[in-house]
Structure 1
Amino acid sequence: MPHVSAWKRFRHVPVLLPALALASFGVGQTPQPATLSIDVDKPLHSVSPTLYGLMTEEINYSYDGGLYAEMVKNRTLRDGDWSQQDWLVMQNASAGAKFDQDKSTGPSEALNDSMKLTVTSASPSEPAGVRNMGYWGYPLRPNTTYHASIYAKTDASDLALHWNLVSNKTGRSVASAEVPAIGSDWKQYKVTLHTGAIEASEAYHLELTVTKPATLWFDLVSVFPPTYHDRENGNRVDMMEMLAGMHPAFLRFPGGNYLEGDHIKERYDWKKTIGPQVDRPTHPSPWNYHSSDGLGLLEFLEWCEDLHMKGVLAVYGGYSMKQEHVEPGKDLEPYVQDALDEIEYATGSTDTKWGAQRAKDGHPKPFDVPFVEVGNEDFFDRSGSYDGRFKQFYEAIKAKYPNIQIIATTPVKSVKPDVVDDHFYLSAEKYFDDVHHYDNTDRNGPKIFMGEYATMEGSPTGDFGAALGDAAWLTGVERNSDVVIMSSYAPLLVNVHPGGMQWHPDLIGYTGLSVYGSPSYYVLSLFAGNVGNEVPESSLSGAGPRIAYSVTTNKATGKVYLKIVNGAPTPQAIEIDLKGVGHVGSTAKVERLHAMSPVDTNTINDPKHIVPVASTLPVAGDNVKYTLGGYTFELIEFDTK
């Protein structure tokens, strides 16, 4: 595991409240009833409308080989191991071919090199060319159209380029297309490939072949399946649907370590990620694989648009993870201006320089980006420069965009940030012990963005014990949602193929054809999808130390949402006293997550092993008696209207 992972695993551990002794019950014993009092008529504070959202970065093949739907691996030949791993020459008995990287020619200034395929002999019966194996194969589905393209040129006349998607098992083509004639100058060529009644599988690959001697130069090879909302250069449908199921209010992008890079020259340089794909030079990511930058700044913003999320734009703050930083003052000015340009690209009208560029790139309408975060995890910067760097960014951004809320990645003294980003990676036990962490937070200080958190149990995705820990922690977040205004789990995504994971646990796992949510995924979905707009006065007495809860209400609808978690194996009897209500429906809706063991979990082969089960709870008046099972999270919705 890279050293970066070790940094993240032990970072920013909070000062814990004194641990409570765990109650012990014998088999068959039932603890004394606890009392939960809820006074609906006494709201304490409102609930932040942006409380639950998504954090994303390029890790675990989250974009390339994951959400970003491109199927060709190393499509621009920029990965260091391209000649050994991704592109292989193919030739028959009488066909001769070789390929090399040609650094003297390419389709653009950004992509100024290419693959050179030299074919010395070939025929229609014995073609020659190259093979691409994709990201753990090509995930093909039956009766589906795939859109493909390539930049190419040749020294031969009337050279046809044949495309085939081929079964690894049979060697037979399952979809084919042809470019009739490649020209002598760099040009993009597009084809479509349509599968028939094939088996849905990842055991396919791409072949590009010619049938006569020639030299062919090519670059930026692309094959796309259908995408979410049919966006060109878009995202996987199934994964976007999973993310939509989390009811996210915001997206924090582009990360994360991915924002910073290992070195300053490897940072997320947004200006190199916009415009046509052929004008994007790509760059190394900090998780030891290359980023295509196909999912660039505009694509992140369109991701927000597609899921109706607000943008939390992270701008490079002058620090990279190998302890390289830019000193505040004159040296930092170009980076500050770059951030101002980036905000203008996202939010500016078309009569601004960068707003006009966004319109040229295909999106005239500005995006909703009310938050900007300066840097990422700058508490790791041993130079102590963040205070000065943040002040310089803060003053420049506020001067031009006074309504944007600016987020600091660690506490600073030079200016008062609007929001401070907290990161926590703890065990379930520590999360249960610390559910009151935000209860005494200074309400006059900066607001809190809990930008990264996860219970560190389970792999590749979290187990049920992790889900209980996450649920317990979120009850404290929700109860304090006047000061904690945003929260997002991290990492969000993981490719579960061998070699696809750099960090665990993760929230959502996938292969090329399948995607599943961890138990924590369903916890987060229930929290975000069932939340009121006020936190009422409430109290819990007589419960065991591994019981945690939160309550929100919506007076307009009369809904009362109770989230309650039992992290112990023994059940807990509870009496719920609803005060301040004139009417309570005869039944309450219940969504229940339960497992017999905290190490039980969902997997790619058993994706729905632990999912919410709907039921009802009888209600007779404003006093409800029931028993919360062991190892259980429940959402209870009362109707008081």
Structure 2
Amino acid sequence: MPIEHDVAAIDQMKIKVSGTEERPISTELWGAFFEDINYAADGGLASNLVQNGAFEYNYSDLPRWTNYTAWDKEVTEGAFGAFCISAKNPVTEENPHHAVIEVHKGSLALTNEGFDGMVFAAGQTYGFAIWARSESGAELPLTVELLDENDRSIGSAKVVVPAAEWTELSAEVTASADTTRGRLRLGFSQPGVYAIDFVSLEPRSTYNGLEHMRADLVEALAELHPRFLRFPGGCIVHGNGMDNMYDWKNSVGPVEHRRHNFNIWGYHQSFRIGFYEYLRLCEEIGAKPLPVLPGAVTCPGTDKGPVPIPQSEMGDYIQGVLDFIEFCNGGPDTTWGSLRAEMGHPASFGVEMLGLGNEDQIDAVFESRMQQILDAVRAAHPEITIVGTSGGWDYLLGRETGARMGVPIMDEHQYRAPAWWFRNSEVYADVRRGGPQIYLGEYGSNGNHMINALSEAVAMSYIELNGDVVTMASYAPLFAKCDRHRWTPNLMYFDNEHVYRTYNYWVQQMFLMTAADSVRPVELEGPKMYHRDISDRINLGFGPTYDFDKRSGTVVDFSDIEITLSDGSKVAVPQVRCAEDYVDAGLDLHGDAYTVTMCMTHVRGTQPVNLRLGDGRGSNHYYVSLSSWVRILSSDAQSGDYEIARLPFDSRRTPLRPGTVWDLTIKVADRGRRIQLFINGEEVLDGLDDRPEEPRRTATVARNADRRKLYVRLVNALPSAMDVDLTEVLGDATSLSTVTATVLAADGPFAGGIDEDAPTVAEVRTVNLASSPRYRAEPWSFTILTVPEARDA
């Protein structure tokens, strides 16, 4: 990718103070959100290196998975035996499956591959644990070995499996060499019947003694300095169906008794990181806990929409919510506080907030369930601040509902392309003050390039500017394992050896390290617009179909395709079958206005299909997205997509089904800036893109009175430098010769990406503004100027 700088151009800019009044904002504004998505828990933050150590993997996790997934069965030459699975006489009833190894002759072994291998470091000690028993009436030897990438032993230990009763055995194993593709081998060398379960192997190295968590991931999170940490979700809270709803009681106590479940994101949950471990993590990194419990309904995005807990069971459910607060804060003499004490934490965790629900469908059933929970929590625990949900789509309705119910804070989510963030930087400026405050619980810009990070810097600047009504915000998702993610972007990626900090990460850290308590409205004067050109080319592109779960195999046929040009001439296009591959019609017609007609027949699946106009994918263009959620969007090759019209999402609307036939008419004007969509002769959308320019430079000013610091935040998402006159914002600030500039800059908008470190990092410099209050911001950069001893407003 060539460097996208205009080295000769320096644009002159000026910050103008647009108001004299500083307004206070939330001092708890910036936090983080940890959800078990993209192998963020098992195989990630959880330090256990063994995959499927409880032998509970099955087809509900993934269709091909079995109880022995991640285990290799080994039978030495001349040996005879069998590897079985049993659920009789288990260690625990919650997770009954265990391995039964019958050794009749010679030696057998089970070797665990871990999560894409195991990393062992020479001289490091690893704690091995297993539940085992001999079913042969006599003790049996069990050998534990650490293997390198060539299956050579680089550490070993032996334990003795007792007869009759299940017993937890442990051993310390020290690695004698380094390997990044290691494995764990369990050797069964004596004839007999071994029963084993709950196999684990954890490095003894920790972050400040925080057990059961991978030290480098905790360190990377701690270096963000989040004011709060949300957990566990997200979609994982309400899950996929009633039996998959997150049950907090299933996440505390001995890990053997935490019932495993499938993960809604397509793998397995062992709950080795549950609410107790989460609260300990918050305590260690100095973040306030924001635990989230289901709002008594299941996920609205699943087939046929949400399902509520029966009214007859609401009493038990509400008691469970109250029990959770007792677990967090109750004395050690209470029922659930005593469990917390037994786990090692007699003192209260001091939880002050409780989230209820996630992206739930706001309707009368949901409201009735939520009101019952609210009333009970308020009556028993008035000290707890409830964070409700505004739903997943209609936030205005969610806010109105929250106001009516008296919920103080409402959770909203915004996953948008950079183009949307640049164009909607003041999205929260018009929120009614005096109603529920807003928690932007999940947000991001659909990528990990520098252009994404800069758009998020704009978003965060204006969230901060409205920090009197947006009281908390957390980027999502937090962690993702390289090559194992189903959702991108993520703040950090990791493999078994490294943590990769993205440009998005550095923007977050820059804000978190310069947290403010007040803001001052300003305006940036000068050239700040990016103009997107739209070609006059007329072409059609189809698909690919969006298949999130890789199972639906959506197929759509388009026939009778005809384009009518402005002069009345017509061009026929051959029939197209749209599936997983993008289909380009290959037309090279030209004009500003035209009409497309076609017949769309849905053959298979339920996922959306896109009809792209103009130059199509990879260029500036417009497109129509067709499903039960019909939308017209603009797509910019650099800053992504933004919506210009849609039919609001409704999970109750019938999705496209096999056999559905739509006669489509698409009327295009001004090269796509206006698009009218007709389905079966009825106009369903009329989209007008009336903002062809995109503001790409911003300046905001914030202050921290306790630190006596003034923060000037400058975003330059254009290819030329900008010379910014700071005279009005600096005023009579002192120590202008020692202003600190924290600068994140890149060679171009597409620097950085997924599964890798950002090519550049935030750098701290000292700049002298005493002689001239001007600062030159680099192209493609985000800068925070920290000015000491700013005057009081």
Say whether the fold is shared (TM-score over 0.5): yes
Contact 2:16–2:524, Cα closer than 8 Å, also in 1: yes
Deviation at 1:625, TM superposition (A): 1.2
**Which of 781, 784, 787 matches 1:632?**
781
Amino acid at match of 1:160: P
Deviation at 1:296, TM superposition (A): 1.1
Give SS of 1:207's match: strand
Amino acid at match of 1:415: M
Amino acid at match of 2:716: N
Deviation at 1:105, TM superposition (A): 2.3
Which residue of 1 is the match for residue 117 of structure 2?
137
Q: Is structure 2 residue 743 aligned with structure 1 residue 592?
A: yes
Which residue of 1 is the match for residue 178 of structure 2?
199
Per-residue deviation, residues 111-144 of structure 1 (Å, max 9, x unmatched) = 323111111112xxxx312111110011112210
Separation in 1 of the partners of 2:18 and 2:121? 51
Which residue of 2 is the match for residue 79 of structure 1?
57
Q: Is structure 2 residue 263 aligned with structure 1 residue 279?
A: no
Question: Which protein shows a greater Rg?
Answer: 2
Q: Is structure 2 residue 699 aligned with structure 1 residue 549?
A: yes
Per-residue deviation, residues 547-589 of structure 1 (Å, max 9, x unmatched) = 1233221234321111211111222221012355352431311
Deviation at 1:233, TM superposition (A): 4.9
Which residue of 1 is the match for residue 235 of structure 2?
257
Separation in 2 of the partners of 1:86 and 1:514? 22
Deviation at 1:181, TM superposition (A): 4.1
Per-residue deviation, residues 220-244 of structure 1 (Å, max 9, x unmatched) = 0010013534657521110001001
Deviation at 1:44, TM superposition (A): 2.4
Q: Is structure 2 residue 176 aligned with structure 1 residue 173?
A: no
Which residue of 1 is the match for residue 389 of structure 2?
409
Per-residue deviation, residues 495-533 of structure 1 (Å, max 9, x unmatched) = 003xx1110011100011111111010000010011232
Separation in 2 of the partners of 1:61 and 1:224? 17
Q: Is structure 2 residue 752 aligned with structure 1 residue 607?
A: no
Judge which range, 156-165 or 327-336, deviates more.
Answer: 327-336
Deviation at 1:49, TM superposition (A): 2.0
List aligned pairs for 1:571-582, cutoff 5 A.
571-577=721-727, 578=729, 580-581=731-732
Deviation at 1:149, TM superposition (A): 0.5
Separation in 1 of the partners of 2:734 and 2:740? 16
Which residue of 2 is the match for residue 93 of structure 1?
77
Contact 1:563–1:636, Cα closer than 8 Å, also in 2: yes
Q: Is structure 2 residue 120 aligned with structure 1 residue 158?
A: no
Amino acid at match of 2:389: T
- TM-score normalised according to structure 1 size: 0.89
Q: Show structure 1 runs of 4+ deviating over 6 A.
A: none
**Which of 92, 97, 104 matches 1:108?**
92
Name the count of aligned residue pairs.
Answer: 598
Give SS of 1:599's match: coil
Deviation at 1:83, TM superposition (A): 4.6
Contact 1:77–1:115, Cα closer than 8 Å, also in 2: yes
List aligned pairs for 1:373-392, cutoff 5 A.
373-379=355-361, 384-392=364-372
Contact 1:43–1:534, Cα closer than 8 Å, also in 2: no
Amino acid at match of 2:413: H
Contact 1:328–1:389, Cα closer than 8 Å, also in 2: no
Assess, with a 3 A threshold, how the Cα gap between structure 1 residues 509 and 400 changes in structure 2: closer, same or farther.
same
Which residue of 1 is the match for residue 421 of structure 2?
431
Gaps of 5+ in 2: 59-64, 391-397, 529-694
Separation in 2 of the partners of 1:164 and 1:403? 52
Per-residue deviation, residues 45-102 of structure 1 (Å, max 9, x unmatched) = 2231211111111110000000111111011111112355312211211222221111
Q: Is structure 2 residue 408 aligned with structure 1 residue 422?
A: no
Per-residue deviation, residues 575-629 of structure 1 (Å, max 9, x unmatched) = 012355352431311111111221111665x6352201222222126x6112222
Which residue of 1 is the match for residue 570 of structure 2?
none
Assess, with a 3 A threshold, how the Cα gap between structure 1 residues 233 and 90 changes in structure 2: closer, same or farther.
farther
Contact 2:120–2:182, Cα closer than 8 Å, also in 1: yes
Separation in 2 of the partners of 1:585 and 1:557? 16
Give SS of 2:480's match: strand
Contact 2:55–2:68, Cα closer than 8 Å, also in 1: no
Per-residue deviation, residues 255-294 of structure 1 (Å, max 9, x unmatched) = 1111111011111111111111121121111011110111
Which residue of 1 is the match for residue 213 of structure 2?
235
List aligned pairs for 1:208-607, cutoff 5 A.
208-229=186-207, 231=209, 233-321=211-299, 322=302, 323-326=305-308, 329-379=311-361, 384-410=364-390, 411=398, 412=401, 414-457=404-447, 462-497=448-483, 500-544=484-528, 545-577=695-727, 578=729, 580-581=731-732, 583-601=734-752, 607=757
Separation in 2 of the partners of 1:208 and 1:456? 43
Which residue of 2 is the match for residue 21 of structure 1?
none
Give SS of 1:99's match: strand
- TM-score normalised according to structure 2 size: 0.73
Give SS of 1:224's match: strand
- Higher RCO (C-alpha 8 Å, min separation 6): 1
Q: Name the Cα RMSD after superposition.
A: 2.1
**Which of 9, 14, 23 matches 1:34?**
14
Assess, with a 3 A threshold, how the Cα gap between structure 1 residues 451 and 185 changes in structure 2: closer, same or farther.
same
Amino acid at match of 2:438: I
Separation in 1 of the partners of 2:373 and 2:698? 40
Give SS of 2:726's match: strand
Separation in 2 of the partners of 1:584 and 1:71? 52
Q: Is structure 2 residue 172 aligned with structure 1 residue 182?
A: no
Report the identity percentage: 27
Which residue of 2 is the match for residue 57 of structure 1?
35
Assess, with a 3 A threshold, how the Cα gap between structure 1 residues 29 and 361 changes in structure 2: closer, same or farther.
closer
Separation in 1 of the partners of 2:49 and 2:758? 27
Amino acid at match of 2:747: M
Separation in 2 of the partners of 1:541 and 1:601? 30
Judge which range, 176-185 or 509-518, deviates more.
Answer: 176-185
Contact 1:592–1:633, Cα closer than 8 Å, also in 2: yes
Amino acid at match of 1:594: A
Separation in 2 of the partners of 1:484 and 1:445? 11
Assess, with a 3 A threshold, how the Cα gap between structure 1 residues 560 and 242 changes in structure 2: closer, same or farther.
same
Deviation at 1:337, TM superposition (A): 1.5
Contact 1:52–1:250, Cα closer than 8 Å, also in 2: yes
Give SS of 1:131's match: strand
Contact 2:57–2:68, Cα closer than 8 Å, also in 1: no
Deviation at 1:151, TM superposition (A): 0.4
Separation in 2 of the partners of 1:26 and 1:468? 18
Separation in 1 of the partners of 2:485 and 2:724? 41
Judge which range, 401-410 or 446-455, deviates more.
Answer: 401-410
Greater strand share, 1 or 2? 2
Separation in 2 of the partners of 1:512 and 1:133? 12
Separation in 2 of the partners of 1:469 and 1:45? 24
Contact 1:531–1:561, Cα closer than 8 Å, also in 2: no
Give SS of 1:362's match: coil
Deviation at 1:326, TM superposition (A): 1.9
Deviation at 1:537, TM superposition (A): 4.4
Contact 1:587–1:616, Cα closer than 8 Å, also in 2: yes
Assess, with a 3 A threshold, how the Cα gap between structure 1 residues 26 and 527 changes in structure 2: closer, same or farther.
closer
